[in-house]
Amino acid sequence: MLEVIILAAGQGSRMQSSLPKVLHTLAGQPLVAHVLQTARQIMADAIHVVVGHGAQAVKAAVAAPDVQCHLQAEQRGTGHAVAQAIGACDPNSTVLVLFGDVPLISKAVLTDVVAASASGVAMLSAYLEDPTGYGRVVRDQDGEFTAVVEEKDASPEQRRLQEINTGVLAANAEKLAAWLGRVDNHNAQSEYYLPDVLRLAREDGVPVTVACSDNDFNVQGVNTPQQLEALERRHQQVLADELMTGGVLIADRSRLDVRGRLQCGRDVSIDVNVIFEGDVALGDGVSIGANCMVRDAAIGAGAQILPFSHVEGAEVQAGAVIGPYARLRPGAVIGEQAKVGNFVEVKNARLGFAAKANHLAYLGDADIGEHSNVGAGTITCNYDGANKHRTTLGENVFVGSNSTLVAPVTIESGGFVAAGSTVTSDVAPDQLAVARGRQRNIDGWRRPTKSGDAD
Ligand code: UD1
Ligand code: CA
């Protein structure tokens, strides 16, 4: 049996934030969610999460049928944290400890550490250019592991060591529990340090295997906003690189953010400063202009999202053109070849094949038929202050500029609404609706003049 214990109880005081550290996000997901995902990938039989600081919020973030949470009421160190969960593990299990603030730890390296623990205890180290803040791996003259020394306890000489403890450790549950029982807190931070079990294992003659990661970026911990930003940027570059390997044309890998899952077809191009969130699928030949935000959306083949558009919870079908400066809100379905132009907001509305709303409009709770044209300044008045109502346009309807369509209302196919109309009743097929004050032109009218003593 393989059981994973994820430590997520710490406050993360160096983040200077009221949010528990493991809930800060990387690529749009809480740090601890990344670790959880990796634990699932290595097929752990049980997953334990130790919560403490902000326990309710952390519990809610990790809640799942395969996760058990254990409360560490007082944060007395990483060893003390593991001790809160170890009792719930099967004594014969192999326990793998992961830190909730080391989000990008990779599946492959964990599999190696678990395998290495078969002969005793295994930990994962790494060489870092800048090891500041990490526990250092101390070795004897023969290069044999002796101990992990925390930076605060390290001598100036030890601080120069560049091999660090990543926090990943694997051992048999029963033995780990026994060593944890012997760990003391006689150190600079008065904490019960998890890596002290490695020293105790050695004292008991149990071999300690140190696996060394060849990737210095997957093992990095997040303790400060600077480290979070650095890791986010590195991670985004890796994601961009993967997309480019798949053929996506990216204008600048340092100006792309993928905060979720992005699937791309062939010949997709993405200009600068684009943010993708949630689940996004881009069909073949889609182009996304500069400065767009696209969240939980499906964009069909050949569709173009022009610069500065905001697309959320929407489906854009093949060949449609959105923007520049368009806003698609949840439930927007833009049909093939349709156009949604600048300063048009669409919510919970369908535009049929080749329908157009080219400028300055609000289309909420509406069905717009094929080839219909919605003029500039048109608004669906979908909300009466209490309830929402639908507006329905048939095929080939023309709505003149600056019209208000007061829902519920239907304009049948071929209907024509004169500019500036307030449409409150249904329009039959091919009818013209004019609903505005009639124009009067008055002859001989004089403009007001200024009164005499105006100075
Ligand atoms: C820890 C290691 C250090 C290692 C580094 C790698 C110890 C004593 N130090 O240092 O050797 O180089 O990680 O990133 O293990 N946590 C709890 N309960 C606690 C304390 C911590 O759950 O009482 C959790 C934190 O939420 C965090 C993780 O354990 O997810 C690590 O704690 P942190 O305080 O960040 O340890 P570091 O100082 O980074
Ligand atoms: Ca840390």
Model confidence over 312-353: pLDDT tens digits?
999 999 999 999 999 999 999 999 999 999 999 999 999 999
| pLDDT at residue 412 greater than cutoff 80 | yes
| Whether residues 31 and 127 fall in one domain | yes
**Domain closes at, from 159, 188, 219:** 219
| Whether residues 265 and 166 fall in one domain | no
| Whether residues 261 and 311 fall in one domain | yes
The residue annotated as part of the active site, out of 24, 53, 310, 359, is 359
| Whether residues 303 and 194 fall in one domain | no
Q: Which long-range contacts (CB under 8 A, 24 or more apart) does 283-291 make?
A: 283/318, 289/323, 289/324, 290/251
Q: Are 369 and 427 in contact (CB under 8 A)?
A: no
| pLDDT at residue 203 greater than cutoff 60 | yes
Q: How confident is the model at residue 455 (pLDDT cuts 50, 70, 90)?
A: low
| Whether residues 215 and 234 fall in one domain | no
Please tell me if the CB atom of residue 148 comes closer than 6 angstroms to any atom of ligand 1. Answer: yes
pLDDT on residue 410: 98
**Domain closes at, from 219, 248, 282:** 219
| Nearest Cα residue to atom 29 of ligand 1 | 7
User: In this structure, is residue 334 part of a structural domain?
Assistant: yes
User: In this structure, is residue 132 part of a structural domain?
Assistant: yes
Please tell me if the CB atom of residue 358 comes closer than 6 angstroms to any atom of ligand 1. Answer: no
CATH number at residue 422: 2.160.10.10
Instruction: Compute the mean pLDDT over every residue in the chain, rounded to the nearest whole number.
Output: 97
User: In this structure, is residue 452 part of a structural domain?
Assistant: no
Is the bond preceding 65 in cis, omega lying within 30 degrees of 0?
no
| Whether residues 402 and 310 fall in one domain | yes
Angle subtended by helix axes 196-203 and 173-182, to nearest 10? 100
Ligand nearest to the CA of 71: 1
User: 12 C-alpha to center of ligand 1: Å?
Assistant: 9
| Whether residues 299 and 365 fall in one domain | yes
| pLDDT at residue 20 greater than cutoff 70 | yes
pLDDT on residue 1: 95
| pLDDT at residue 418 greater than cutoff 60 | yes
Please tell me if the CB atom of residue 150 comes closer than 6 angstroms to any atom of ligand 1. Answer: yes
**Domain closes at, from 185, 219, 253:** 219
Three-class SS state of 116 = helix
How many residues are given for the chain? 455
| Whether residues 173 and 26 fall in one domain | yes
**Nearest atom of ligand 1 to the alpha carbon of 21:** 26
| pLDDT at residue 30 greater than cutoff 70 | yes
User: In this structure, is residue 450 part of a structural domain?
Assistant: no
Q: Are 321 and 306 in contact (CB under 8 A)?
A: yes
Please tell me if the CB atom of residue 167 comes closer than 6 angstroms to any atom of ligand 1. Answer: yes
User: In this structure, is residue 249 part of a structural domain?
Assistant: yes
| pLDDT at residue 453 greater than cutoff 80 | no
| Whether residues 185 and 250 fall in one domain | no
Respond yes or no: is residue 24 known to be catalytic: no
User: 256 C-alpha to center of ligand 1: Å?
Assistant: 31
Q: Are 298 and 304 in contact (CB under 8 A)?
A: no
User: In this structure, is residue 445 part of a structural domain?
Assistant: no
Please tell me if the CB atom of residue 8 comes closer than 6 angstroms to any atom of ligand 1. Answer: yes
User: In this structure, is residue 447 part of a structural domain?
Assistant: no
pLDDT on residue 89: 98
User: In this structure, is residue 340 part of a structural domain?
Assistant: yes
Mean per-residue pLDDT, 359-374: 98
| Nearest Cα residue to atom 28 of ligand 1 | 99
Ligand nearest to the CA of 165: 1
Total domains in the chain come to 2
Please tell me if the CB atom of residue 103 comes closer than 6 angstroms to any atom of ligand 1. Answer: no
| Residue 358 structural domain | 225-433
| pLDDT at residue 188 greater than cutoff 70 | yes
Count the alpha carbons within 13 Å of 331 in the hemisphere toward its beta carbon: 8
Q: Which residues make Cβ contacts (< 8 Å) with residue 30, sequence separation at least 6? A: 22, 23, 24, 61
Integer Cα distance of 344 and 365 in angstroms: 14
User: 128 C-alpha to center of ligand 2: Å?
Assistant: 15
Please tell me if the CB atom of residue 76 comes closer than 6 angstroms to any atom of ligand 1. Answer: yes
| Whether residues 243 and 152 fall in one domain | no
Mean per-residue pLDDT, 268-297: 98
Nearest to residue 162, comparing CAs of 126, 198, 192?
A: 126
Burial of 391 (C-beta count, 10 Å sphere; 0-12/13-18/19+): buried
User: 98 C-alpha to center of ligand 1: Å?
Assistant: 10
CATH number at residue 144: 3.90.550.10
Q: Which residues make Cβ contacts (< 8 Å) with residue 24, sequence separation at least 6? A: 12, 15, 17, 30, 31, 222, 228
pLDDT on residue 454: 54
| pLDDT at residue 452 greater than cutoff 80 | no
Tokens (6 digits) for 19: 């949010």
Q: Which residues make Cβ contacts (< 8 Å) with residue 398, sequence separation at least 6? A: 372, 373, 375, 415, 416, 417
Residue 156, number of CB atoms within 10 A of its CB: 6
| pLDDT at residue 276 greater than cutoff 60 | yes
Q: Which long-range contacts (CB under 8 A, 24 or more apart) does 107-111 make?
A: 107/38, 107/41, 107/42, 109/168, 109/211, 109/213, 109/215, 109/218, 109/219, 110/38, 110/42, 110/168, 111/42
Integer Cα distance of 277 and 297 in angstroms: 9
Residue 325, number of CB atoms within 10 A of its CB: 17
| Whether residues 213 and 337 fall in one domain | no
| Whether residues 280 and 418 fall in one domain | yes
| pLDDT at residue 106 greater than cutoff 70 | yes
